[in-house]
């Protein structure tokens, strides 16, 4: 069985066209399928459009969020409710082409766990979208060791056991291939088509660059240091603590053996600050990262709230 997971936010004009194209492709396959639309708190007519489609096609399932939680939360909800052995994600804006789905499935049959789409001929503005994306993809590939040309392409195919393994927070959905490396997942990519947006406007801009850069550091930590966090935090913290201690030892030497006045030296304050920063870096970073996960895990809470389900079994 194949599950198609589609996050949607204010896409009322695109969804009917996408549904017809998607249904035509999926009906031509031998596998059974389901289409899961996750309405991420849309403020236009998207909920009504999805409700009408789901009423006439029981293969279409709808999850509607109470407010906008972001694409990662929508992906997470779709993964949690998907029943397919293979889960395919795609955008609702018609820029991904449903006709590429058979190619993803064919590649999966070669034994891969994740097949990522590569928008080789991307139909987006160069300066605001393509250039930042190229830089980000290069950095992510080098930092994580998973070489992909297009981490930002939503069109991807996952084996269900991989997609459901992770609890996704923040904006981590784009990093799933890199995160799956930790479990030895086989990952590849294939070129896919990309179309200009016809209706609506893009929800993403250059402003998300900072969040992506910060997430890269988090992925690096989750992949290599999640079971030994003190190795990274402790390493930086120890360096700062050692530098501060050497400064203070130097000033102590001056005071004891030369009688120099060190009370009004900026170096004294710098040494103290480095020592405190080293201690705080070791403790605060580890605790902050663990607290958020402990909170969700212990309470069994999700980073979203569902307002409605259609054609979903409990």
- Going from the C-alpha of 25 to that of each of 59, 221, 222, the distances in angstroms are 14, 39, 37
| CA of residue 78 relative to chain centroid, distance | 14
The answer to whether residue 165 scores a pLDDT higher than 70 is yes
Provide the pLDDT for residue 13. Answer: 92
Q: What is the mean pLDDT of residues 229-252?
A: 83
Q: What is the mean pLDDT of residues 273-285?
A: 84
Q: Specify whether 201 is located in the same domain as 234.
A: no
Q: Specify whether 59 is located in the same domain as 148.
A: yes
Q: Quick one: residue 184, left, alpha or beta (phi over 0 = left, psi -120 to 50 = alpha)? A: left
Q: Specify whether 110 is located in the same domain as 159.
A: yes
Give the 3-state secondary structure of residue 87.
strand
Cα–Cα distance measured from residue 233 to residue 278, given in angstroms and rounded to the nearest whole number:
9
Specify if 13 maps to a domain: yes
pLDDT band at 192 (very low <50, low <70, confident <90, very high): very high
Domains held by the chain: number? 2
Of 148, 178, 208, which marks where a domain is finished?
208
Residues 224-238: tens digit of each pLDDT: 666 566 566 777 888
Q: Specify whether 107 is located in the same domain as 40.
A: yes
Q: What is the mean pLDDT of residues 65-85?
A: 92
pLDDT band at 184 (very low <50, low <70, confident <90, very high): confident
Q: Specify whether 199 is located in the same domain as 234.
A: no
Q: Specify whether 188 is located in the same domain as 237.
A: no
Q: Which domain holds residue 193?
A: 2-208
Report yes or no: 150 and 137 within 8 Å, Cβ to Cβ: yes
CATH number of the domain residue 67 falls in: 3.90.550.10
Give the 3-state secondary structure of residue 60.
strand
Q: List % helix, strand, coil for the chain (3-state, nearest 5).
A: 50, 15, 35
Burial of 21 (0-12, 13-18, 19+ CB in 10 A): middle
Q: What is the mean pLDDT of residues 133-154?
A: 84
The answer to whether residue 299 scores a pLDDT higher than 80 is no
* Number of alpha carbons in the 13 Å side-chain half-sphere of residue 234: 5
Residues 196-230: tens digit of each pLDDT: 877 666 655 555 666 777 777 777 776 666 656 65
């Amino acid at each position: 069985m194949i599950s198609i997971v589609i996050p949607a936010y204010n896409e009322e004009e695109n969804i009917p066209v996408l549904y017809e194209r998607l249904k035509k492709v999926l009906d031509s396959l031998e596998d059974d399928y389901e289409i899961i639309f996750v309405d991420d708190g849309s403020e236009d007519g998207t909920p009504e459009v999805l409700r009408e489609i789901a009423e006439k096609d029981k293969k279409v399932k709808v999850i509607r969020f109470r407010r906008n939680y972001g694409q990662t939360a929508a992906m997470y909800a779709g993964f949690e409710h998907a029943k397919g052995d293979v889960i395919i994600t795609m955008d609702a804006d018609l820029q991904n082409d449903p006709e590429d789905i058979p190619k993803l499935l064919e590649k999966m049959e070669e034994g891969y766990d994740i097949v990522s789409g590569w928008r080789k001929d991307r139909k987006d503005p160069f300066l605001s979208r393509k250039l930042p994306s190229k830089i980000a993809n290069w950095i992510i590939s080098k930092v994580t060791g998973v070489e992909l040309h297009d981490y930002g392409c939503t069109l991807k195919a996952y084996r269900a056991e991989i997609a459901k393994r992770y609890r996704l927070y923040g904006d981590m959905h784009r990093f799933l291939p890199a995160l799956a490396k930790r479990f030895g997942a086989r990952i590849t990519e294939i070129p896919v088509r990309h179309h200009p947006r016809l209706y609506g406007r893009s929800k993403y801009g250059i402003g998300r660059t900072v969040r992506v850069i910060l997430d890269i550091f988090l992925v690096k930590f989750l992949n290599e240091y999640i079971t030994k966090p003190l190795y990274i935090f402790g390493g930086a913290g120890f360096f700062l603590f050692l530098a501060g201690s050497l400064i203070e030892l130097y000033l102590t030497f001056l005071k004891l053996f030369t009688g120099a006045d060190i009370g009004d030296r900026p170096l004294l304050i710098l040494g103290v600050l480095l020592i405190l920063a080293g201690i705080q870096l070791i403790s605060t970073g580890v605790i902050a990262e663990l607290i958020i996960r402990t909170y969700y895990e212990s309470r069994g809470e999700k980073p979203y709230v569902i307002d409605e389900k259609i054609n979903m079994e409990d």
